[in-house]
Amino acid sequence: MDVALAVHRLHFAFTVTFHYLFPQLTMGLALLLVIVKTVALRTGDEHWAEASRFWIRIFAINFVMGVVTGIPMEFQFGTNWSEFSKAAGNVIGQTLAMEGVFAFFLESTFLGLLLFGERRLGPRGHWLAAFLVFLGAWISGYFIIATDAWMQHPVGHAVGADGRIELVSFWGLVGNPWALWQFAHNMIGATITACFVMAGVGAFYLLTGSHVRYGEIFLRVGVLAGVVATIVQLYPTGDGHGRMVAEHQPATLAAMEGLFKTERGAPIALVGQPDVEKQRLDNPIFVPRMLSFLTYRRWLSEVSGLEAFPRENWPDNIPLLYYSYHIMVGLGTMFIAVMLVASWLLLRGALFRTRWMLWILMLAIPFPYIANTAGWITAEVGRQPWVIYGLMRTSSGYSHNVSAGNALFTLIGFMGLYTVLAILFLFLVRREIEHGPGAAEA
Amino acid sequence: MPTLWFCLVAVMVAMYTVFDGFDIGTGIAHLFVARSTPERRLVLQSIGPVWDGNEVWLIAAGGTLYFAFPALYAASFSGFYLPLMMVLWLLILRGISIELRNHLQGAIWSPFWDVVFALSSMLLAVFFGAALGNVIRGVPMDETGRFFEPLWTDFLPGANAGILDWYTVLVGLAAFFALGMHGAFWISLKTRDAIRERARVFAARSWYVVVVATAAITVTSFRLQPQILRNLTDRPWGYLFPALALVGLIGAYRYHAAHREAKAFLCSSLYLAGMLSSAAFGVYPYVLPAVTDPSRALTVHNAAAPLTGLRIGIVWWSFGMALAVAYVAYTYWSFRGKVAVDREGY
C-alpha cells in the first residue's frame, strides 16, 4: 500500500476510534437517564433524582470529550480525504450538515439546561430537558449512520459526467435501508455500553459497601435495560444488519466468516485463524450448515466464498476483519449470558448479595467498549477496498496534496493530545465515582 | 442558486464569528480582566452554558460549505492542512479547559486551565484572522486546482505565498483585537463591579487598536485583491457592508461611553458581521482566489455542487435553520442577566 494512503487511513481510524469511546456512552446513557428521571418523577423518590444527578455529571465529562474529539472528524473529510470530498461532498455533506442543524443545536441547548437548570425548570421541565438531550443525541447518531450507510450502500444519488456525485433523492439518502438497520444495531450497542457501565458502577458500590442505596438503583436499571438490549442486539438488529451485508457486500460477508470456498450448506466458524495465502481457515471449530441458515434461512443454501469474487475486490485486511467480527459476536453472546443470569438473580431478589455476579458485572465494564469498537472495525474494514462501496476506491479518495510526512506529523500530534485527554478523563471519572451520588450523605 | 448558497454560507460564518467570537474574546480578555480565582470562575460561568452551542455554528457552517461547495471544501481544507489541524488542537484544548476548570478547586488546577483557556483563545483568534486573510489574498493554486501551503515562506504575499505573511498576520492581529473587544463587551454585560470595570477599560483600549487595524487591513486588502474595488465599482450597493461595519464600530464606542453594555455588544457584533460580509462581497465571485494564475481560482460557479443537490438542500436547510434560531434564542433567554457567584451548577 502507498505510504500516504496508509497514514491517512490510520489518521482517520485512530481519531474516530478514540472519538467513539465517548458518544457510545453518552447516547446510551441519555436513554437510561430518561428512564431514571421518569422513575424519579413518578415516585418522587429523592434517591432516584440524586442518582440521575450523578449520571448527569458523568454524562457531562463524556459529552465534552465527545464534542472536542468530534469536531476533527468533520474537518478530516476535507483535510485528509479531499478527493473523496470533492466527488461526494454534495451527498455526505448534507447528512453532516443535517447533524449540526437538526441535532447539535437541540442537544447543546438542552444540555446547558440539563446541567445548569434543574432548579429553574422544576422536575417536569428538567425531565423534558433530559428527554430532548436524548432526542438530540439519537438524531445526531442517525445522521452520522446515514452518512456511513451511504458509503456502505450508496443510494439516492446520480454520478455526473465529470465524476461528481450529486444527491437526487433526499428520502433515498435519509431512508437508506442500510442506515435503518445500522442505526438500530449501533444505538442498541451504545445502550449496552451504558447498561454495563451503570450496572458495573453499581456493583462496585455494593462490593465496596459505599453508596449502597444508589448502587442498587444502578444495578436495577443497568441489568433490566441490559437484558433487553443485549437480546435485541442479536435479534433482530444484528441479524438484520448481517443480512444487509450478505445482500449488498457478499465478498465482505465471506471475509468476515473466513469462507474462502463457495459452499452449499456452509458451516459457521466459531474460532479459527484465516490464512489468506493458503486460502483456508486454520484450527477451525465449525457449526455445520449454520452460515447458510443464518444468511438465507435455508440449511442447504449456497453461500459464495471469497473465490467467487475478483481478488482486487476482496477486503484488503481479511484477518483484521475476521477477528473484529468474531470478537464482536463472541462478546455479544457473552453479554446476553451475563445479563440473563444477572436479571434472573435480580428478579429473585438475590443479586445484591451474590458477590461473584457483582464481581463479573464490575469487571465487564471495558468489554462493551471493545465490542462496539470491533463492530465498527468490521463495518469499515469490511467496506474496503472501497471508500464508497462500488463507486470509489479508498486509494483514490485521500488528499493527494497532503504528503505522508505532513499527515504523520498531525497523527502523532493527535496521539499525544488524546493521551492527555484519556488521562484527564480517567482521573475525573474516577473522582466522580469515588465521590459518588448523594453528596449530603457521602 | 450557487450565489444564494454563497450568501447563506457567508451568513453562517458571520453567525459563528459573532457567537463563538464573544467566547473566544472572553478568553482573550480573561487573564487581564479577571484577577482572582473566583473572578475567573465567574467569567467562565458567563460562557459555560453557551460556548458549546456557539461552536455548533462552526460545525453547521462547515457542513453547509461541504455540500454546497464540495470542491472548495476539498481544496481549502487539504491546502490549509497544517494550520487547520492546529486549529483543531486549539479547539480541543480550549473546550476541555472551559469544562474541566471548575471540576476541581486547587492552587494548581484552576490557574493552569485559566492559562490554557486564554492562550488557546488568543491563538484561535489569530489563526481565524489569518485564514480570512488567506482567502482574501488568494492561494498558490496549481494547474490541477490543488495547493498545499506551507506555514510560511518569505512572509511576502506573492505567488510563493505561505499561510503567514505580513498581510495575513495583520488580519490575524486585527481579529485578535476585534474579538478581544467583542469578548470584553460580553464580560461587561454579564458581570458587575470590579470585573465589569476592568472589562470596560479593556474594551475601550482594544477599540482604539481595532480602529487602526481596521484602517490598515482595509487599505492593504484593496491593494492585494483588486476584485474588491471592481465589485464596489460595479455594484455600488455593496458599500452597505463596510458602512455597517463602520456604524458598528462607532456605535460600540458611543454606547460604551454611555454605559449601555447590551447595545455596545450588539454594535461590536454588527462590526464583525459587517467586516465579514464586506470580505465576502469583495472577493465574489471568487471563493478561493489564486495568486498564481487567476484562471485557476475557485469561484462560486466552478466550486458549487450540481443544481439538483443544491435544490434539495435548500428545503431542509431552511426548515432546520428556523429551528436552530429558535433554540439559540431560547438558550440566551434562559441564561439572560448577570452571572452571580454560587449559582447552580453541576
Q: What is the pLDDT of residues A57-103, one digit of tens each?
A: 999 999 999 999 999 999 999 999 999 999 999 999 999 999 999 99
CA angle (A239 as vertex; A237, A241 as ends), nearest 5:
65
Chain B CB within 8 Å of residue A75 CB: yes
- Flag if A164 and B324 touch (Cβ within 8 Å): no
- Predicted confidence (pLDDT) at residue A12 exceeds the cutoff of 80: yes
Tell how strand B298-299 and strand A302-303 pair up.
Answer: unpaired
Tell how strand A263-264 and strand A165-167 pair up.
Answer: unpaired
> Among A14, A15, A50, A71, which would you mutate to test the B interface (most chain B Cβ atoms within 10 Å of its Cβ)?
A71
Chain B CB within 8 Å of residue A396 CB: no
Count, residues in chain A:
442
Percent of chain B exceeding pLDDT 70 equals: 98
pLDDT band of B102, cuts 50, 70, 90: confident
pLDDT digits (tens, 9 = 90+) for A397-430: 999 999 999 999 999 999 999 999 999 999 999 9
- Predicted confidence (pLDDT) at residue B345 exceeds the cutoff of 80: no
User: Would you state the pLDDT for residue A1?
Assistant: 64
Chain A residue with the nearest C-alpha to that of B314: A94
> Among A11, A85, A91, A411, which would you mutate to test the B interface (most chain B Cβ atoms within 10 Å of its Cβ)?
A85
Task: Report the predicted TM-score, pTM, of the whole model to 2 decimal places.
Answer: 0.94
- Flag if B346 and A60 touch (Cβ within 8 Å): yes
What's the grid cell of residue A365? 465494564
Chain B residue with the nearest C-alpha to that of A167: B309
- Predicted confidence (pLDDT) at residue B346 exceeds the cutoff of 80: no
Chain B CB within 8 Å of residue A171 CB: no
**Closest by Cβ to B100, choosing from A85, A89, A424:** A424
Chain A CB within 8 Å of residue B166 CB: no
Chain B residue with the nearest C-alpha to that of A97: B63
pLDDT band of B341, cuts 50, 70, 90: low
Helix then strand count (H, E) for chain B reads 13, 2
CA–CA dist A337, A352 (Å, integer): 18
Chain B residue with the nearest C-alpha to that of A65: B96
Per the rule left: phi > 0, alpha: psi between -120 and 50, beta: everything else, B342 is left
pLDDT band of B193, cuts 50, 70, 90: confident
**Closest by Cβ to B96, choosing from A79, A169, A421:** A421
CA–CA dist B52, B337 (Å, integer): 19
The predicted complex's ipTM stands at: 0.92
Mean per-residue pLDDT, B17-43: 93
> Among A57, A79, A95, A157, which would you mutate to test the B interface (most chain B Cβ atoms within 10 Å of its Cβ)?
A79
Chain A CB within 8 Å of residue B62 CB: yes
> Among B11, B73, B336, which would you mutate to test the A interface (most chain A Cβ atoms within 10 Å of its Cβ)?
B73
Whether A25 and A190 have beta carbons less than 8 Å apart is answered as yes
**Closest by Cβ to A413, choosing from B68, B85, B327:** B85
CA–CA dist A347, B139 (Å, integer): 68
CA–CA dist B245, B271 (Å, integer): 4
Contacts of A104 in chain B (CB under 8 A): 56, 59-60
pLDDT digits (tens, 9 = 90+) for A127-140: 999 999 999 999 99
- DSSP for B42-107 reads HHHHHHTTTHHHHHHHHHHHHHHHHHH-HHHHHHHHHHTHHHHHHHHHHHHHHHHHHHHGGG--ST
> Among B52, B54, B117, which would you mutate to test the A interface (most chain A Cβ atoms within 10 Å of its Cβ)?
B52
User: Would you state the pLDDT for residue A441?
Assistant: 42
Contacts of A85 in chain B (CB under 8 A): 66, 70, 73-74, 77
- Flag if B323 and A102 touch (Cβ within 8 Å): yes
User: Would you state the pLDDT for residue A210?
Assistant: 93
3-class DSSP state for residue A403? Answer: coil
Chain A (6-35) residues lying within 8 Å, Cβ to Cβ, of chain B: none
Residue A157, H or E segment: strand A157-159
User: Would you state the pLDDT for residue A439?
Assistant: 60
pLDDT digits (tens, 9 = 90+) for A219-261: 999 999 999 999 999 999 999 999 999 999 999 999 999 999 9
- Predicted confidence (pLDDT) at residue A442 exceeds the cutoff of 60: no
Chain B residue with the nearest C-alpha to that of A73: B88
pLDDT digits (tens, 9 = 90+) for B233-262: 999 999 999 999 999 999 999 999 999 999
- Flag if B343 and A116 touch (Cβ within 8 Å): yes
User: Would you state the pLDDT for residue A240?
Assistant: 94
CA distance, residue B69 to nearest chain A CA (Å):
8
User: Would you state the pLDDT for residue A176?
Assistant: 95
Chain A (203-262) residues lying within 8 Å, Cβ to Cβ, of chain B: none
- Flag if A109 and B99 touch (Cβ within 8 Å): no
CA–CA dist B178, A140 (Å, integer): 34
Which residues contact residue B164 at a Cβ distance below 8 angstroms, ignoring those fewer than 6 apart?
B130, B151, B152, B155, B172
- Flag if B308 and A167 touch (Cβ within 8 Å): yes
Mean per-residue pLDDT, A351-363: 97
